[in-house]
Amino acid sequence: MSASTANRERGAKVPLPDDEAIDVGFSDEPAGASPSIRSLWYLCPLIVTWAAVVGAVAVAAPVFAAWLASSAWEQGVAGPLRLSVLGWVVIHDVPVRVDGASYSLMPWGLAIVPFALLWMGGRWAGRVSQITDARATLALVGWTAALYAAAIGVAAWVVSAPDLRLSAPRAFCTAFVLAFAAIALGVYRGTVAGEHLRHEVPAAARVVAGAATCAVVALLALGSMLAAASLVISFSGALSVSESLQAGPVGGLALLVLGLGYVPVVATWAVAYALGSGVSLGPDVLAAPFNAISSTTMLPPFPLLAAIPSRSLEWPMLPMAIGPVAGLLVGWYVARSARRPVAYRMAMAVAACALAGVGMAVMSVLARGSLGQERMTDLGPNPPAVAMAVMGLLLVGAIPAALILRPRRERVLAAASQQATEGSRS
């Protein structure tokens, strides 16, 4: 069989002498359809299956390990299987209602697992589909996110029972937002269209977004350091709480995983506490650096909660320094990236600080919820207060840095001019 005959049977395009190509065969794909659109029917299920199966296995592994290590394995596999599905749904920040008590302060830090899996799937799909237009990109991201969210919603509905309820619509919405963001970022990194979109965004917008991202990351990192220092100071209390739980090796591993999931929550609480807006520990109970906890509250027996100070600080202004320090980073980023006049750089620094305040307000919303009834129904920072504190304290460091520091290009030109002047004198 000749090469042209084989190509004809496969429905391929045979090159002509004038470097053109025509379709000489038959194909089961509709004529005129975009290859990127046609590929949706298998790319979307593949991404969803990959993320759902690997994510569920990652959650089920410690659950079944604890089940096998205990005597409960004689009662059948239905219990750990249901608990695994419940854990898979909960890590998408889906609240649980048990016997009338709402548990909405979830360890959403574990959402990094499905986010990373969906991001990898989106990047792979962008590479293999060779998407080049926005319509196909939006179709791929939207349909895959909807399919994944539908799987999470169905899982929430299946695992619900009279004594344990999950909101299937809430599960669908939160999973859709997470999946859409992760897949969109993955496709953005894996396609040529993403590179084109990156160049179409104005340079000023990229600088403002980058400076705001640096500020949020810096605040969360500094907040984590403060929380870790407080936990070291209160290590004896955290150790006594851990010993009172009598978790054992497998239970200790579960506590470690749960603690890692709550790290973003604790970091956001630490930032809100340090900047002076405070953290609510129930109705009429506020933890802030300027005052002791106003009344007693029964916190859950969890080791990380031992890091919450029970009295006012001797130097309450000291933790607030994390705001101006992060602001210096904003000013440095703007001055380094923006080749603009001083007034323009100052305006960009203000915009970046405002955007960082919005970002920390979103983090505060995610870090706020309930862990039961009565005095455990209002836990976490106040988002508007956190946004105002973040913006105000960031400006303290961002404005001077943006005004004093010079862009990198200006420094290079000044150094070159100085060298030329010295050379002419010599």
Least confident of 134-143, 168-177, 244-253: 244-253
Which of 120-129, 212-221, 408-417 holds the top average pLDDT? 212-221
pLDDT band at residue 28, thresholds of 50, 70 and 90? Answer: very low
The answer for residues whose C-beta is within 8 angstroms of residue 74's C-beta and 6 or more apart is: none
Contact yes or no for 209/355 (Cβ under 8 A): yes
Contact yes or no for 317/373 (Cβ under 8 A): no
**Token digits of residue 346:** 């100052």
* Cα dihedral: 230, 388, 95, 186 (round 10): -100
Bridge-partner residues for 372, per DSSP?
102
For residues 318 and 285, what is the distance between their CA atoms, to the nearest angstrom?
A: 23
For residues 210 and 197, what is the distance between their CA atoms, to the nearest angstrom?
A: 16
pLDDT band at residue 23, thresholds of 50, 70 and 90? Answer: very low
**Token digits of residue 219:** 């605040």
For 285-318, letters b (16+ CB in 10 Å) and e give bbbbbeeebeeebebeebbbbbbbeeeebeeeee
Q: Is the model's pLDDT at 230 over the cut of 90?
A: no
| pLDDT at residue 346, rounded to an integer | 87
| pLDDT at residue 309, rounded to an integer | 78
Mean pLDDT of 328-341: 84
For residues 331 and 389, what is the distance between their CA atoms, to the nearest angstrom?
A: 17
pLDDT band at residue 397, thresholds of 50, 70 and 90? Answer: very high
Q: Is the model's pLDDT at 169 over the cut of 60?
A: yes
Q: Where are the alpha helices (DSSP H) in 32-77?
A: 35-38, 40-69
Which of 33-42, 129-138, 182-191, 392-401 holds the top average pLDDT? 392-401
User: Is pLDDT larger for residue 415 or for residue 162?
Assistant: 162
What one-letter code names the amino acid at 332?
Answer: W
Mean pLDDT of 330-352: 85
Name the residue ranges covered by the structural domains of the chain: 1-32, 36-200, 204-412
The answer for residues whose C-beta is within 8 angstroms of residue 306's C-beta and 6 or more apart is: 231, 234, 235, 237, 238, 241
For residues 141 and 148, what is the distance between their CA atoms, to the nearest angstrom?
A: 11
Query: What is the per-residue pLDDT across 246-270, written as a single tens digit (0 to 9) for each?
Result: 766 666 777 788 888 889 999 999 9
| pLDDT at residue 225, rounded to an integer | 93
Angle (nearest 5°) at CA 11 between 5 and 12 = 80
Order of strands, edge to edge, in the sheet holding 96-98? Answer: 164-166, 96-98, 101-103, 371-372
For residues 200 and 203, what is the distance between their CA atoms, to the nearest angstrom?
A: 9
406 by DSSP, 3-state: which? coil
| pLDDT at residue 233, rounded to an integer | 84
| pLDDT at residue 174, rounded to an integer | 92
**Token digits of residue 387:** 């946004």
Q: Is the model's pLDDT at 196 over the cut of 60?
A: yes
Average per-residue pLDDT for the chain: 79
| pLDDT at residue 26, rounded to an integer | 28
Mean pLDDT of 280-309: 74
Least confident of 56-65, 344-353, 369-378: 369-378
Q: Is the model's pLDDT at 79 over the cut of 90?
A: no
Least confident of 120-129, 157-166, 406-415: 406-415
| pLDDT at residue 387, rounded to an integer | 95
The answer for residues whose C-beta is within 8 angstroms of residue 197's C-beta and 6 or more apart is: 188
Q: Which helix (H) or strand (E) holds 333?
A: helix 322-337
Contact yes or no for 47/119 (Cβ under 8 A): no
Q: Is 73 exposed, middle or buried (0-12, 13-18, 19+ CB in 10 A)?
A: middle
Mean pLDDT of 118-144: 83
Q: Is the model's pLDDT at 20 over the cut of 80?
A: no
Mean pLDDT of 340-347: 82
| pLDDT at residue 5, rounded to an integer | 46
Q: Is the model's pLDDT at 29 over the cut of 50?
A: no
Give the rounded percent of residues in the chain with a pLDDT score beyond 70. 77
User: Is pLDDT larger for residue 372 or for residue 34?
Assistant: 372
Mean pLDDT of 301-316: 76
Contact yes or no for 141/43 (Cβ under 8 A): no
Q: What are phi and psi of 58, to 5 degrees?
A: -65, -35
Mean pLDDT of 398-405: 87
